């Protein structure tokens, strides 16, 4: 009977052990370096920035990550610029935690830019909408244990999916090099290496769901971070002209963001109609640089 009980306990507890081991594995540097693409390594490094004085700080989703080049903004404005933009997955899971951590360890910027795609001007609730593994990875590596346990309790399927993701990534890394090592990295910032898009990815006849911008959420971002002399800019990133939802978002973002939603030629985007090519990123960065105050002036 003792052997049978041991059999039962071992088998029943195995899934829990698998989960715990996945978390341990994800926290190792080996996992990050060998198994994760370059942009996640870069985002991970941002948690360790300390004592850096940036006049302009960029925070946002992957549209900001691929579309805002700090050195171009710096060229245009004369203000030292840093970006700690994340991906939608991280913002969805962690909200503004990466930003808060940065502000704890570094002097406050003069200007804090929040740059998001039109559909991301709202707090996230459904992890199913995003590549949540990116956010859970950051939570495991840099968030508190309490937050991870909370994530586990509130999103068990995703926490389980994350464990699967860790094992798959680790095993893939044993066999081949990380899949995205060829990604163009420019001082830690990137655009994806794919060629410009020729047409919008979405089906115009069946566009995806619309996510209404949340004005209260945007106002809360401004109120919460506009302190210690920091000026907050809320910028919506441009979308392709062929985006069938652009007009709807343009109308609903009025009064929510500090800039109107612009529509650009599709050739300035290279992925999911939101990520920018190098040319697109340069154009957007220059525009943003122009909007910034020259040293102590006001935002245009």
One DSSP character per residue, 13-53 reads HHHHHHHHHHHHHHHSHHHHHHHS-HHHHHHHHHTT--S--
How many residues sit in the footprint of other proteins (CB under 8 A)?
25
| 168 interacts with other proteins by CB under 8 A | yes
Rounded Cα distance between 169 and 33, Å, is 11
For residue 145, the minimal CB distance to other proteins (Å) is 17
**Window 14 to 53, contacts with other proteins (CB under 8 A):** 14-16, 18-19
For residue 182, the minimal CB distance to other proteins (Å) is 18
| 3 interacts with other proteins by CB under 8 A | yes
| 176 interacts with other proteins by CB under 8 A | no
For residue 126, the minimal CB distance to other proteins (Å) is 13
> Is 180 or 185 the residue whose CB approaches other proteins more closely?
180
One DSSP character per residue, 141-184 reads HHS-HHHHHHHHHH-HHHHHHHHHHHHHHHHHHHHS--TTTTSE
| 255 interacts with other proteins by CB under 8 A | no
| 179 interacts with other proteins by CB under 8 A | no
> Is 58 or 151 the residue whose CB approaches other proteins more closely?
151
b/e map of 19-48 (b: 16 or more CB within 10 Å)? beebbebbeeeebbeebbbbbbbbbbebbe
Q: x/- contact string, 147-166, with other proteins (CB under 8 A)?
A: ---------xxxxxx-xx--
How buried is residue 180: exposed, middle or buried, by Cβ count under 10 Å (0-12/13-18/19+)?
A: middle
| 10 interacts with other proteins by CB under 8 A | yes
| 211 interacts with other proteins by CB under 8 A | no
> Is 14 or 216 the residue whose CB approaches other proteins more closely?
14
Tokens representing residue 250 in the block: 């343009």
Look at residues 91, 86, 102 and name the one whose alpha carbon lies nearest to residue 50. 102
Task: Give me the residues that bind other proteins (CB under 8 A), please.
Answer: 1, 3-5, 7-8, 10-12, 14-16, 18-19, 156-161, 163-164, 167-168, 171
């Amino acid at each position: 009977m003792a052997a049978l009980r041991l059999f039962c306990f071992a088998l029943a507890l195995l899934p829990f052990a698998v989960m715990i081991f996945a978390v341990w594995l994800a926290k190792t540097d080996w996992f990050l370096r060998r198994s994760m693409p370059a942009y996640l390594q870069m985002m991970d490094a941002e948690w360790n920035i300390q004592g850096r004085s940036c006049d302009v700080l960029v925070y946002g989703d992957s549209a900001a990550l691929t579309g805002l080049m700090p050195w171009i903004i710096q060229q245009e404005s004369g203000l030292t610029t840093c970006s700690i933009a994340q991906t939608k997955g991280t913002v969805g899971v962690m909200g503004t935690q990466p930003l808060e951590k940065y502000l704890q360890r570094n002097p406050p910027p003069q200007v804090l830019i929040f740059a998001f795609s039109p559909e991301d001007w709202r707090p996230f609730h459904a992890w199913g909408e995003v590549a949540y593994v990116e956010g859970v990875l950051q939570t495991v590596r840099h968030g508190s244990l309490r937050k991870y346990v909370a994530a586990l309790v509130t999103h068990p399927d995703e926490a389980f999916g994350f464990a699967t993701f860790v094992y798959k990534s680790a095993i893939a890394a044993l066999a081949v090099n990380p899949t995205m090592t060829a990604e163009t990295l420019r001082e830690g910032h990137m655009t994806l290496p794919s060629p410009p898009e020729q047409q919008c990815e979405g089906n115009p006849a069946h566009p995806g769901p619309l996510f209404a911008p949340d004005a209260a959420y945007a106002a809360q971002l401004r109120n919460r971070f506009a302190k210690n002399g920091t000026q907050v800019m809320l910028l919506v990133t441009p979308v392709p002209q062929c985006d069938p939802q652009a007009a709807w978002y343009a109308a609903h973002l009025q009064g929510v963001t500090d800039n109107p939603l612009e529509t650009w030629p599709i050739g300035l985007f290279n992925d999911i109609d939101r990520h920018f090519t190098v040319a697109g990123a340069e154009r957007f960065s220059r525009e943003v640089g122009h909007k910034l105050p020259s040293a102590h002036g006001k935002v245009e």
